Structure 1
Amino acid sequence: MSGRTRDPACPERTCVGCRGRSAKADLLRVVVIEGECVPDLRGTLPGRGAYLHPSLACCDLALRRRAFPRAFRVTGGPGPLGTEQLRRYVERASREAGDTEHNATP
């Protein structure tokens, strides 16, 4: 047993930025649509999802670590994944939340 609670009503996911585990509800689901990483606010868009704390620290860390191509299992292809739309959303969400950044230390 890992010591984590196994509450089925509160599944956990791993942030691709800081690699920390959090409740699924506390993370932003990201999907790829036409080569662009976009936030999936309702959690209903089709395709493979990656999870990210909605903070600039985790977003920057994920981009620096090249975590999105790895999470989406994208190799080669026509080019790198676009992240502008995701970055704008996270910046706006961070400003609205008072910029209480998630601790991005692994």
Structure 2
Amino acid sequence: MSSPAGIRTCIGCRSSDDRTALVRVVLQRSPERTGVVVLDPHGVISGRGAWLHPRRQCLDRAVKTKAFARSFRAPVDTSDLLVQWESIFRPPHGSTAHEDQS
């Protein structure tokens, strides 16, 4: 069983899970003072982070409900997040498996 320190809450579906089952996203500041949300799949980027299940529906819900802005307590830009998400979690070309169904 995981320690409480390893439990995080998905900002999309709001359910708790072990951090190994979630993907970290980080707010990176831009010169325009709006933070840009970027994926941190390896957990190495410094800065304030939030957590998502690696499911498209969790990402979509987090964007729709403005969960990123609430989590980071700042205005955010999520416009490039879907492109990043697809580049990491899209199944290989020709595959019928759906990564976002787990």
The equivalent of 1:14 in structure 2 is 9
Sequence identity of aligned pairs in percent?
37
Structure with more strand by fraction: 2
Q: What root-mean-square deviation, in Å, do the aligned CA atoms of Structure 1 and Structure 2 show?
A: 2.3
What is the TM-score normalised by the length of structure 1? 0.74
The equivalent of 1:82 in structure 2 is 77
Number of residue pairs matched?
Answer: 93
Structure with more helix by fraction: 2
User: In 1, Cα distance between the equivalents of 2:15 and 2:101?
Assistant: 10
The equivalent of 1:69 in structure 2 is 69
Deviation at 1:73, TM superposition (A): 1.1
Deviation at 1:48, TM superposition (A): 1.1
Deviates more, 1:84-93 or 1:14-23: 84-93
Please tell me whether the aligned partners of residues 54 and 99 of structure 2 are also in contact (alpha carbons under 8 angstroms): no
Query: Which consecutive unaligned segments of at least 5 residues does structure 1 have?
Result: 75-79
Deviation at 1:10, TM superposition (A): 7.6
1:37-56 aligned at under 5 Å gives the runs 37-56=37-56
> Deviations along 1:52-104, whole A, 9 cap, x unmatched?
11221111100111000100011xxxxx411133211222334227324348x
The equivalent of 1:26 in structure 2 is 21
What is the TM-score normalised by the length of structure 2? 0.76
